[in-house]
Structure 1
Amino acid sequence: MFTENKELEWSEVPFEDASAKYTLNGISEDGLGEVFFEDPAHYLVHEGDVVIDGPVSFGAADDGDVTLHVIDGNLTVNGPLFFIQGDFNGALLVTGSIFCQNAIVGVDAMLYVGKSMHVEGLLVTTLSKPSHFAIREALIAGSWLEATGNGLFEIGQKPQARLLRVGKGSYRAFSRYGEEEEKRARDEGKEVKKPSYFGFSPKEASSVQGILHPSLLEGEEDISAGEIREAMEEGRPLFA
Protein backbone atom coordinates (compact mmCIF):
# COMPACT_ATOMS: atom_id res chain seq x y z
CA MET A 1 0.00 0.00 0.00
CA PHE A 2 1.48 3.34 -1.10
CA THR A 3 0.17 5.02 2.06
CA GLU A 4 -1.92 3.83 4.98
CA ASN A 5 -3.62 7.17 5.58
CA LYS A 6 -7.35 6.61 5.20
CA GLU A 7 -8.00 10.25 4.32
CA LEU A 8 -6.43 9.56 0.95
CA GLU A 9 -8.79 7.67 -1.32
CA TRP A 10 -7.38 6.77 -4.73
CA SER A 11 -9.39 6.22 -7.90
CA GLU A 12 -8.04 4.23 -10.82
CA VAL A 13 -7.90 6.31 -14.01
CA PRO A 14 -6.98 4.42 -17.21
CA PHE A 15 -3.50 5.24 -18.45
CA GLU A 16 -4.62 6.74 -21.77
CA ASP A 17 -6.86 9.29 -20.04
CA ALA A 18 -4.63 9.94 -17.03
CA SER A 19 -1.40 10.39 -18.98
CA ALA A 20 -3.06 13.04 -21.15
CA LYS A 21 -4.18 15.03 -18.10
CA TYR A 22 -1.31 14.52 -15.67
CA THR A 23 2.15 15.15 -17.07
CA LEU A 24 5.54 16.20 -15.77
CA ASN A 25 5.86 18.99 -18.32
CA GLY A 26 7.47 22.00 -16.71
CA ILE A 27 8.33 20.00 -13.58
CA SER A 28 10.93 17.54 -14.82
CA GLU A 29 12.94 17.19 -18.00
CA ASP A 30 12.52 13.43 -17.68
CA GLY A 31 9.18 11.93 -18.61
CA LEU A 32 7.57 9.04 -16.82
CA GLY A 33 9.22 6.74 -19.35
CA GLU A 34 12.38 7.35 -17.35
CA VAL A 35 10.61 6.22 -14.18
CA PHE A 36 8.64 3.13 -15.23
CA PHE A 37 9.94 0.28 -17.38
CA GLU A 38 6.53 0.05 -19.06
CA ASP A 39 3.36 2.12 -19.03
CA PRO A 40 1.19 1.31 -16.01
CA ALA A 41 -2.38 0.21 -16.70
CA HIS A 42 -3.72 3.17 -14.75
CA TYR A 43 -2.79 6.08 -12.50
CA LEU A 44 -4.15 6.34 -8.97
CA VAL A 45 -5.72 9.77 -8.46
CA HIS A 46 -7.09 11.68 -5.48
CA GLU A 47 -9.03 14.73 -6.60
CA GLY A 48 -8.96 17.82 -4.41
CA ASP A 49 -6.85 19.28 -1.62
CA VAL A 50 -5.71 16.99 1.19
CA VAL A 51 -5.27 18.11 4.81
CA ILE A 52 -4.15 15.37 7.19
CA ASP A 53 -2.47 14.98 10.56
CA GLY A 54 1.02 13.54 10.45
CA PRO A 55 3.08 11.58 10.45
CA VAL A 56 2.19 10.50 6.92
CA SER A 57 4.29 8.00 4.98
CA PHE A 58 4.44 7.35 1.25
CA GLY A 59 6.30 4.56 -0.51
CA ALA A 60 5.61 1.68 -2.89
CA ALA A 61 5.27 -1.66 -1.11
CA ASP A 62 4.45 -4.03 -3.98
CA ASP A 63 3.84 -4.24 -7.75
CA GLY A 64 0.40 -2.68 -7.36
CA ASP A 65 2.00 0.55 -6.20
CA VAL A 66 4.28 0.87 -9.24
CA THR A 67 2.41 3.70 -10.93
CA LEU A 68 1.94 7.44 -10.68
CA HIS A 69 -0.07 8.51 -7.63
CA VAL A 70 -1.63 11.93 -8.18
CA ILE A 71 -2.96 14.34 -5.59
CA ASP A 72 -4.83 16.80 -7.79
CA GLY A 73 -4.54 19.77 -5.45
CA ASN A 74 -2.49 20.80 -2.43
CA LEU A 75 -1.16 18.43 0.23
CA THR A 76 -1.00 19.78 3.79
CA VAL A 77 0.42 17.58 6.55
CA ASN A 78 0.07 18.77 10.14
CA GLY A 79 3.22 17.00 11.23
CA PRO A 80 6.05 15.16 9.46
CA LEU A 81 5.94 13.76 5.93
CA PHE A 82 8.03 10.77 4.82
CA PHE A 83 8.50 9.45 1.29
CA ILE A 84 10.88 6.50 1.41
CA GLN A 85 10.84 3.41 -0.80
CA GLY A 86 13.26 0.77 -1.99
CA ASP A 87 12.35 -2.43 -3.86
CA PHE A 88 9.37 -0.98 -5.77
CA ASN A 89 9.24 2.39 -7.51
CA GLY A 90 6.04 4.35 -7.16
CA ALA A 91 5.86 8.05 -8.03
CA LEU A 92 3.92 10.85 -6.35
CA LEU A 93 2.73 13.94 -8.22
CA VAL A 94 1.16 16.75 -6.21
CA THR A 95 -0.27 19.16 -8.77
CA GLY A 96 -0.42 22.01 -6.24
CA SER A 97 1.90 22.70 -3.30
CA ILE A 98 3.08 20.66 -0.33
CA PHE A 99 2.99 22.08 3.21
CA CYS A 100 4.40 20.14 6.17
CA GLN A 101 6.21 20.54 9.47
CA ASN A 102 9.26 18.34 8.74
CA ALA A 103 10.06 15.91 5.93
CA ILE A 104 12.35 13.11 4.82
CA VAL A 105 12.50 12.17 1.13
CA GLY A 106 14.78 9.20 0.71
CA VAL A 107 16.24 6.21 -1.10
CA ASP A 108 14.33 5.60 -4.39
CA ALA A 109 11.60 8.23 -3.89
CA MET A 110 10.10 9.84 -6.99
CA LEU A 111 8.50 13.14 -5.94
CA TYR A 112 7.08 15.74 -8.33
CA VAL A 113 5.47 18.99 -7.17
CA GLY A 114 3.51 21.18 -9.57
CA LYS A 115 3.92 24.36 -7.52
CA SER A 116 6.04 24.77 -4.36
CA MET A 117 7.12 22.78 -1.31
CA HIS A 118 7.05 24.44 2.12
CA VAL A 119 8.72 22.72 5.08
CA GLU A 120 8.41 24.63 8.33
CA GLY A 121 11.37 22.98 10.05
CA LEU A 122 13.81 20.41 8.63
CA LEU A 123 13.84 18.75 5.21
CA VAL A 124 16.21 15.79 4.86
CA THR A 125 16.99 14.20 1.48
CA THR A 126 18.78 10.83 1.45
CA LEU A 127 18.32 9.85 -2.18
CA SER A 128 19.78 7.10 -4.35
CA LYS A 129 21.07 7.62 -7.89
CA PRO A 130 17.81 6.82 -9.78
CA SER A 131 15.53 8.92 -7.58
CA HIS A 132 13.86 12.22 -8.52
CA PHE A 133 13.08 15.31 -6.45
CA ALA A 134 11.41 17.82 -8.75
CA ILE A 135 9.65 21.05 -7.78
CA ARG A 136 8.35 23.36 -10.47
CA GLU A 137 8.52 26.58 -8.44
CA ALA A 138 10.11 27.12 -5.01
CA LEU A 139 11.49 25.02 -2.20
CA ILE A 140 11.05 26.91 1.07
CA ALA A 141 12.32 25.28 4.26
CA GLY A 142 13.72 26.25 7.61
CA SER A 143 16.71 23.97 6.93
CA TRP A 144 17.53 21.53 4.12
CA LEU A 145 19.96 18.72 4.89
CA GLU A 146 21.12 16.89 1.74
CA ALA A 147 22.87 13.78 3.02
CA THR A 148 23.94 11.53 0.14
CA GLY A 149 25.06 13.52 -2.90
CA ASN A 150 22.85 11.39 -5.17
CA GLY A 151 19.51 11.70 -6.93
CA LEU A 152 18.27 14.13 -9.55
CA PHE A 153 17.15 17.51 -8.20
CA GLU A 154 15.10 19.76 -10.47
CA ILE A 155 14.05 22.88 -8.58
CA GLY A 156 12.65 25.84 -10.46
CA GLN A 157 14.03 28.56 -8.17
CA LYS A 158 16.99 28.93 -5.84
CA PRO A 159 15.95 27.18 -2.61
CA GLN A 160 15.06 29.39 0.33
CA ALA A 161 16.56 27.43 3.21
CA ARG A 162 19.56 27.11 5.48
CA LEU A 163 21.61 24.43 3.73
CA LEU A 164 23.20 21.68 5.81
CA ARG A 165 25.65 19.00 4.71
CA VAL A 166 27.33 15.89 6.02
CA GLY A 167 31.03 15.17 5.26
CA LYS A 168 32.31 17.06 2.22
CA GLY A 169 33.38 13.85 0.46
CA SER A 170 29.73 12.84 0.02
CA TYR A 171 29.15 15.30 -2.85
CA ARG A 172 31.63 14.14 -5.50
CA ALA A 173 28.79 13.31 -7.90
CA PHE A 174 27.46 16.86 -7.69
CA SER A 175 30.84 18.33 -8.61
CA ARG A 176 31.46 15.82 -11.38
CA TYR A 177 28.05 16.45 -12.92
CA GLY A 178 28.68 20.19 -12.98
CA GLU A 179 32.11 19.82 -14.57
CA GLU A 180 30.77 17.52 -17.28
CA GLU A 181 27.90 19.87 -18.11
CA GLU A 182 30.21 22.89 -18.29
CA LYS A 183 32.71 21.10 -20.54
CA ARG A 184 29.94 19.90 -22.87
CA ALA A 185 28.51 23.42 -23.15
CA ARG A 186 31.91 24.93 -23.93
CA ASP A 187 32.67 22.26 -26.53
CA GLU A 188 29.36 23.01 -28.24
CA GLY A 189 29.85 26.77 -28.02
CA LYS A 190 26.83 27.20 -25.77
CA GLU A 191 26.30 29.41 -22.76
CA VAL A 192 27.45 27.72 -19.58
CA LYS A 193 24.51 27.30 -17.22
CA LYS A 194 24.37 25.62 -13.86
CA PRO A 195 21.80 22.81 -14.09
CA SER A 196 18.88 22.71 -11.70
CA TYR A 197 20.63 19.69 -10.18
CA PHE A 198 22.57 22.29 -8.22
CA GLY A 199 19.50 23.33 -6.26
CA PHE A 200 21.60 22.12 -3.35
CA SER A 201 25.04 23.69 -3.17
CA PRO A 202 27.52 21.88 -0.89
CA LYS A 203 29.78 24.94 -1.01
CA GLU A 204 27.04 27.09 0.53
CA ALA A 205 26.06 24.52 3.16
CA SER A 206 27.06 24.36 6.81
CA SER A 207 28.19 21.19 8.56
CA VAL A 208 25.57 19.42 10.66
CA GLN A 209 28.07 19.44 13.52
CA GLY A 210 26.87 21.84 16.19
CA ILE A 211 23.54 22.46 14.42
CA LEU A 212 21.66 19.16 14.56
CA HIS A 213 20.90 17.65 17.95
CA PRO A 214 23.84 15.45 19.07
CA SER A 215 21.58 12.38 19.36
CA LEU A 216 21.03 12.49 15.58
CA LEU A 217 24.70 12.45 14.62
CA GLU A 218 27.04 9.57 13.84
CA GLY A 219 30.70 10.52 14.12
CA GLU A 220 31.76 14.08 13.42
CA GLU A 221 29.80 14.88 10.25
CA ASP A 222 27.40 12.03 9.54
CA ILE A 223 23.79 11.43 10.53
CA SER A 224 21.44 8.65 11.52
CA ALA A 225 18.42 8.94 9.21
CA GLY A 226 16.54 6.47 11.41
CA GLU A 227 17.11 8.57 14.52
CA ILE A 228 16.01 11.71 12.67
CA ARG A 229 12.80 10.01 11.57
CA GLU A 230 12.05 8.82 15.10
CA ALA A 231 12.70 12.30 16.48
CA MET A 232 10.31 13.81 13.92
CA GLU A 233 7.63 11.22 14.72
CA GLU A 234 7.97 11.73 18.47
CA GLY A 235 8.28 15.51 18.34
CA ARG A 236 11.76 15.49 19.89
CA PRO A 237 14.26 18.33 19.27
CA LEU A 238 16.03 18.21 15.92
CA PHE A 239 18.49 21.00 16.56
CA ALA A 240 21.15 21.57 19.21
Structure 2
Amino acid sequence: MFTENKELEWSELPFEDASAKYEINSISEDGLGEVFPEDPPHYLVHDGDVVIDGPVSFGAADDGDVTLHVIDGNLTVNGPLFFIQGDFYGALFVTGSIFCQQAFVDADAMLYVGKSMHVEGLLVTNLSKPAHFAVKEALIAGSWLDASGDGLFEIGQKPQARLLRVEKSSYHAFSQYAEEAEKRARDEGTELKKPSYFGFSPKEAISVKGILHPSLVQGEEGVSARHIREAMEEGKPLFA
Protein backbone atom coordinates (compact mmCIF):
# COMPACT_ATOMS: atom_id res chain seq x y z
CA MET A 1 0.00 0.00 0.00
CA PHE A 2 1.47 3.35 -1.09
CA THR A 3 0.11 5.05 2.04
CA GLU A 4 -1.91 3.79 4.97
CA ASN A 5 -3.77 7.06 5.51
CA LYS A 6 -7.45 6.33 4.99
CA GLU A 7 -8.21 9.95 4.05
CA LEU A 8 -6.54 9.26 0.71
CA GLU A 9 -8.68 7.20 -1.64
CA TRP A 10 -7.23 6.26 -5.02
CA SER A 11 -9.13 5.56 -8.23
CA GLU A 12 -7.66 3.74 -11.21
CA LEU A 13 -7.41 5.73 -14.44
CA PRO A 14 -6.31 3.79 -17.55
CA PHE A 15 -2.79 4.65 -18.68
CA GLU A 16 -3.76 6.12 -22.06
CA ASP A 17 -6.16 8.62 -20.48
CA ALA A 18 -4.04 9.25 -17.40
CA SER A 19 -0.78 9.90 -19.25
CA ALA A 20 -2.51 12.46 -21.46
CA LYS A 21 -4.05 14.27 -18.48
CA TYR A 22 -1.15 14.11 -16.05
CA GLU A 23 2.14 14.93 -17.76
CA ILE A 24 5.26 15.10 -15.67
CA ASN A 25 7.32 16.22 -18.67
CA SER A 26 6.36 19.83 -17.91
CA ILE A 27 8.12 19.42 -14.56
CA SER A 28 10.94 17.00 -15.32
CA GLU A 29 13.03 16.48 -18.42
CA ASP A 30 13.01 12.78 -17.59
CA GLY A 31 9.69 11.23 -18.60
CA LEU A 32 8.07 8.16 -17.08
CA GLY A 33 10.36 5.97 -19.13
CA GLU A 34 13.11 6.97 -16.73
CA VAL A 35 10.92 5.99 -13.78
CA PHE A 36 9.24 2.75 -14.83
CA PRO A 37 10.77 0.01 -17.01
CA GLU A 38 7.43 -0.29 -18.83
CA ASP A 39 4.20 1.71 -18.90
CA PRO A 40 1.94 0.89 -15.94
CA PRO A 41 -1.60 -0.25 -16.87
CA HIS A 42 -3.11 2.66 -14.96
CA TYR A 43 -2.39 5.59 -12.67
CA LEU A 44 -3.89 5.84 -9.19
CA VAL A 45 -5.57 9.22 -8.74
CA HIS A 46 -6.99 11.12 -5.78
CA ASP A 47 -9.23 13.90 -7.05
CA GLY A 48 -9.12 17.14 -5.06
CA ASP A 49 -7.15 18.84 -2.31
CA VAL A 50 -5.94 16.80 0.65
CA VAL A 51 -5.66 18.20 4.18
CA ILE A 52 -4.40 15.60 6.62
CA ASP A 53 -2.82 15.35 10.06
CA GLY A 54 0.71 14.01 10.11
CA PRO A 55 2.81 12.08 10.20
CA VAL A 56 1.99 10.98 6.65
CA SER A 57 4.12 8.34 4.91
CA PHE A 58 4.33 7.47 1.22
CA GLY A 59 6.26 4.65 -0.42
CA ALA A 60 5.55 1.65 -2.66
CA ALA A 61 5.22 -1.60 -0.72
CA ASP A 62 4.52 -4.13 -3.49
CA ASP A 63 4.03 -4.56 -7.26
CA GLY A 64 0.56 -3.01 -7.08
CA ASP A 65 2.12 0.30 -6.08
CA VAL A 66 4.46 0.47 -9.08
CA THR A 67 2.71 3.32 -10.87
CA LEU A 68 2.26 7.07 -10.73
CA HIS A 69 0.13 8.17 -7.77
CA VAL A 70 -1.53 11.50 -8.49
CA ILE A 71 -3.03 13.94 -6.01
CA ASP A 72 -4.99 16.24 -8.31
CA GLY A 73 -4.83 19.31 -6.10
CA ASN A 74 -2.85 20.56 -3.12
CA LEU A 75 -1.44 18.37 -0.34
CA THR A 76 -1.40 19.91 3.14
CA VAL A 77 0.07 17.89 6.00
CA ASN A 78 -0.35 19.21 9.53
CA GLY A 79 2.83 17.56 10.71
CA PRO A 80 5.72 15.74 9.05
CA LEU A 81 5.62 14.20 5.57
CA PHE A 82 7.72 11.15 4.73
CA PHE A 83 8.38 9.68 1.28
CA ILE A 84 10.64 6.65 1.64
CA GLN A 85 11.03 4.48 -1.45
CA GLY A 86 12.61 1.06 -1.21
CA ASP A 87 12.50 -2.06 -3.38
CA PHE A 88 9.47 -1.05 -5.48
CA TYR A 89 9.25 2.05 -7.67
CA GLY A 90 6.18 4.16 -7.04
CA ALA A 91 6.05 7.84 -7.92
CA LEU A 92 4.02 10.67 -6.38
CA PHE A 93 2.76 13.60 -8.46
CA VAL A 94 1.01 16.46 -6.65
CA THR A 95 -0.47 18.69 -9.33
CA GLY A 96 -0.79 21.66 -6.96
CA SER A 97 1.45 22.61 -4.04
CA ILE A 98 2.69 20.76 -0.96
CA PHE A 99 2.48 22.36 2.48
CA CYS A 100 3.92 20.59 5.55
CA GLN A 101 5.71 21.23 8.82
CA GLN A 102 8.69 18.91 8.17
CA ALA A 103 9.60 16.68 5.21
CA PHE A 104 11.87 13.66 4.81
CA VAL A 105 12.43 12.34 1.27
CA ASP A 106 14.58 9.23 1.18
CA ALA A 107 16.24 6.53 -0.94
CA ASP A 108 14.64 5.97 -4.38
CA ALA A 109 11.75 8.43 -3.94
CA MET A 110 10.25 9.95 -7.10
CA LEU A 111 8.48 13.20 -6.17
CA TYR A 112 6.93 15.61 -8.69
CA VAL A 113 5.22 18.85 -7.63
CA GLY A 114 3.21 20.82 -10.19
CA LYS A 115 3.43 24.14 -8.31
CA SER A 116 5.45 24.85 -5.15
CA MET A 117 6.64 23.04 -2.05
CA HIS A 118 6.51 24.79 1.33
CA VAL A 119 8.17 23.20 4.38
CA GLU A 120 7.78 25.20 7.56
CA GLY A 121 10.75 23.66 9.36
CA LEU A 122 13.29 21.11 8.13
CA LEU A 123 13.40 19.44 4.72
CA VAL A 124 15.76 16.46 4.53
CA THR A 125 16.66 14.79 1.25
CA ASN A 126 18.68 11.59 1.50
CA LEU A 127 18.37 10.33 -2.05
CA SER A 128 19.93 7.56 -4.10
CA LYS A 129 21.21 8.10 -7.64
CA PRO A 130 17.95 7.04 -9.40
CA ALA A 131 15.75 9.32 -7.27
CA HIS A 132 13.94 12.39 -8.60
CA PHE A 133 12.90 15.52 -6.72
CA ALA A 134 11.14 17.89 -9.11
CA VAL A 135 9.30 21.10 -8.17
CA LYS A 136 8.02 23.22 -11.05
CA GLU A 137 7.92 26.53 -9.21
CA ALA A 138 9.36 27.45 -5.79
CA LEU A 139 10.90 25.35 -3.03
CA ILE A 140 10.55 27.23 0.26
CA ALA A 141 11.78 25.73 3.53
CA GLY A 142 13.07 26.91 6.87
CA SER A 143 16.14 24.71 6.37
CA TRP A 144 17.10 22.17 3.71
CA LEU A 145 19.60 19.43 4.53
CA ASP A 146 20.77 17.27 1.66
CA ALA A 147 22.41 14.33 3.39
CA SER A 148 23.55 12.20 0.45
CA GLY A 149 24.77 14.28 -2.49
CA ASP A 150 22.83 12.05 -4.90
CA GLY A 151 19.54 12.13 -6.79
CA LEU A 152 18.30 14.49 -9.50
CA PHE A 153 16.84 17.85 -8.46
CA GLU A 154 14.77 19.87 -10.93
CA ILE A 155 13.49 23.04 -9.30
CA GLY A 156 12.04 25.94 -11.27
CA GLN A 157 13.45 28.65 -9.01
CA LYS A 158 16.47 28.93 -6.77
CA PRO A 159 15.45 27.37 -3.43
CA GLN A 160 14.54 29.73 -0.60
CA ALA A 161 15.98 27.96 2.45
CA ARG A 162 18.90 27.87 4.83
CA LEU A 163 21.06 25.17 3.28
CA LEU A 164 22.71 22.64 5.60
CA ARG A 165 25.41 20.20 4.54
CA VAL A 166 27.26 17.21 5.92
CA GLU A 167 30.91 16.47 5.05
CA LYS A 168 31.97 18.27 1.88
CA SER A 169 33.24 15.01 0.38
CA SER A 170 29.64 13.73 0.18
CA TYR A 171 28.69 16.00 -2.74
CA HIS A 172 29.23 15.45 -6.42
CA ALA A 173 29.50 17.59 -9.52
CA PHE A 174 25.76 17.44 -10.25
CA SER A 175 25.18 20.20 -7.71
CA GLN A 176 27.12 22.61 -9.93
CA TYR A 177 24.89 22.00 -12.96
CA ALA A 178 22.78 25.11 -12.39
CA GLU A 179 25.78 27.45 -12.21
CA GLU A 180 27.39 25.84 -15.26
CA ALA A 181 24.20 26.00 -17.32
CA GLU A 182 23.62 29.64 -16.42
CA LYS A 183 27.19 30.63 -17.30
CA ARG A 184 27.02 28.77 -20.63
CA ALA A 185 23.74 30.48 -21.51
CA ARG A 186 25.19 33.91 -20.68
CA ASP A 187 28.36 33.24 -22.70
CA GLU A 188 26.37 32.02 -25.69
CA GLY A 189 23.70 34.70 -25.40
CA THR A 190 20.97 32.08 -25.26
CA GLU A 191 17.99 31.62 -23.00
CA LEU A 192 18.33 29.07 -20.23
CA LYS A 193 15.91 26.21 -20.80
CA LYS A 194 13.21 25.81 -18.17
CA PRO A 195 12.81 24.25 -15.72
CA SER A 196 16.18 25.42 -14.51
CA TYR A 197 18.20 22.85 -12.63
CA PHE A 198 18.69 24.36 -9.21
CA GLY A 199 19.85 21.53 -7.05
CA PHE A 200 21.35 21.64 -3.61
CA SER A 201 24.43 23.89 -3.62
CA PRO A 202 26.97 22.79 -1.01
CA LYS A 203 28.99 25.93 -1.74
CA GLU A 204 26.19 28.00 -0.20
CA ALA A 205 25.47 25.59 2.66
CA ILE A 206 26.64 25.68 6.25
CA SER A 207 27.66 22.70 8.37
CA VAL A 208 25.06 20.86 10.43
CA LYS A 209 27.39 21.14 13.41
CA GLY A 210 25.95 23.58 15.90
CA ILE A 211 22.68 23.82 13.94
CA LEU A 212 21.06 20.40 14.26
CA HIS A 213 20.38 18.91 17.67
CA PRO A 214 23.58 17.25 18.98
CA SER A 215 21.84 13.85 19.15
CA LEU A 216 21.47 13.94 15.35
CA VAL A 217 25.07 14.81 14.50
CA GLN A 218 27.70 12.10 14.13
CA GLY A 219 31.41 12.84 14.18
CA GLU A 220 32.41 16.30 12.99
CA GLU A 221 29.84 16.94 10.27
CA GLY A 222 27.95 13.68 9.73
CA VAL A 223 24.33 12.83 10.48
CA SER A 224 22.21 9.77 11.08
CA ALA A 225 19.31 10.00 8.62
CA ARG A 226 17.48 7.33 10.59
CA HIS A 227 17.76 9.32 13.80
CA ILE A 228 16.47 12.46 12.05
CA ARG A 229 13.50 10.52 10.67
CA GLU A 230 12.70 9.08 14.08
CA ALA A 231 12.98 12.50 15.72
CA MET A 232 10.51 13.91 13.17
CA GLU A 233 8.11 11.02 13.77
CA GLU A 234 8.25 11.44 17.55
CA GLY A 235 8.16 15.23 17.56
CA LYS A 236 11.57 15.52 19.19
CA PRO A 237 13.78 18.64 18.79
CA LEU A 238 15.59 18.84 15.46
CA PHE A 239 17.70 21.93 16.11
CA ALA A 240 20.23 22.83 18.77
Scaled to the shorter chain, the TM-score interval is: over 0.9
Which residue identity does 1:140 align to in structure 2? I
1:199 aligns to what SS in structure 2? coil
Deviation at 1:217, TM superposition (A): 1.0
Alpha-carbon distance in 1 for matches of 2:8, 2:194: 38
Alpha-carbon distance in 1 for matches of 2:194, 2:156: 12
Is 1:42 the equivalent of 2:67?
no
Alpha-carbon distance in 1 for matches of 2:175, 2:85: 26
Alpha-carbon distance in 2 for matches of 1:168, 1:192: 28
Residues 58, 29 of structure 1: CA spacing in aligned structure 2 closer, same or farther, 3 A cutoff?
A: same
1:226 aligns with 226
**1:54-133 paired onto structure 2 within 5 Å:** 54-133=54-133
Residues 6, 37 of structure 1: CA spacing in aligned structure 2 closer, same or farther, 3 A cutoff?
A: same
Number of residue equivalences: 240
Which residue identity does 2:220 align to in structure 1? E
2:53 aligns with 53
Asked if the contact 2:28/2:195 (under 8 Å) is kept, the reply is no
TM-score by length of 2: 0.93
2:157 aligns to what SS in structure 1? coil
TM-score by length of 1: 0.93
Residues 192, 4 of structure 1: CA spacing in aligned structure 2 closer, same or farther, 3 A cutoff?
A: closer
Which residue identity does 1:41 align to in structure 2? P
Which 4+ residue blocks in structure 1 deviate beyond 6 angstroms?
A: 178-186, 188-195
Residues 173, 91 of structure 1: CA spacing in aligned structure 2 closer, same or farther, 3 A cutoff?
A: same
Residues 189, 208 of structure 1: CA spacing in aligned structure 2 closer, same or farther, 3 A cutoff?
A: same
Unpaired segments ≥5 residues, structure 2: none
Asked if the contact 1:110/1:133 (under 8 Å) is kept, the reply is yes
Alpha-carbon distance in 1 for matches of 2:23, 2:9: 21
Residues 195, 95 of structure 1: CA spacing in aligned structure 2 closer, same or farther, 3 A cutoff?
A: closer
1:15 aligns with 15
**1:138-149 paired onto structure 2 within 5 Å:** 138-149=138-149
For 1:146-165, what per-residue CA distance to the aligned partner results, in whole angstroms no more than 9, with x for missing partners? 11111000000011100000
Residues 14, 102 of structure 1: CA spacing in aligned structure 2 closer, same or farther, 3 A cutoff?
A: same
Asked if the contact 2:166/2:222 (under 8 Å) is kept, the reply is yes
RMSD between aligned residues:
2.3
Asked if the contact 1:149/1:173 (under 8 Å) is kept, the reply is no
1:4 aligns with 4
Residues 88, 173 of structure 1: CA spacing in aligned structure 2 closer, same or farther, 3 A cutoff?
A: farther
Alpha-carbon distance in 2 for matches of 1:154, 1:179: 13
Deviation at 1:235, TM superposition (A): 1.1
Which residue identity does 2:150 align to in structure 1? N
Alpha-carbon distance in 2 for matches of 1:68, 1:202: 31
Alpha-carbon distance in 2 for matches of 1:164, 1:153: 16
Deviation at 1:176, TM superposition (A): 7.2
Deviation at 1:172, TM superposition (A): 2.3
Residues 145, 110 of structure 1: CA spacing in aligned structure 2 closer, same or farther, 3 A cutoff?
A: same
Which residue identity does 1:111 align to in structure 2? L
- With 37-46 and 167-176 compared, the bigger mean Cα shift is at 167-176
Asked if the contact 1:178/1:195 (under 8 Å) is kept, the reply is no
Deviation at 1:26, TM superposition (A): 2.1
2:162 aligns with 162
2:205 aligns with 205
Asked if the contact 1:96/1:114 (under 8 Å) is kept, the reply is yes
Asked if the contact 2:156/2:197 (under 8 Å) is kept, the reply is no
1:123 aligns to what SS in structure 2? strand
Unpaired segments ≥5 residues, structure 1: none
Alpha-carbon distance in 2 for matches of 1:151, 1:33: 17
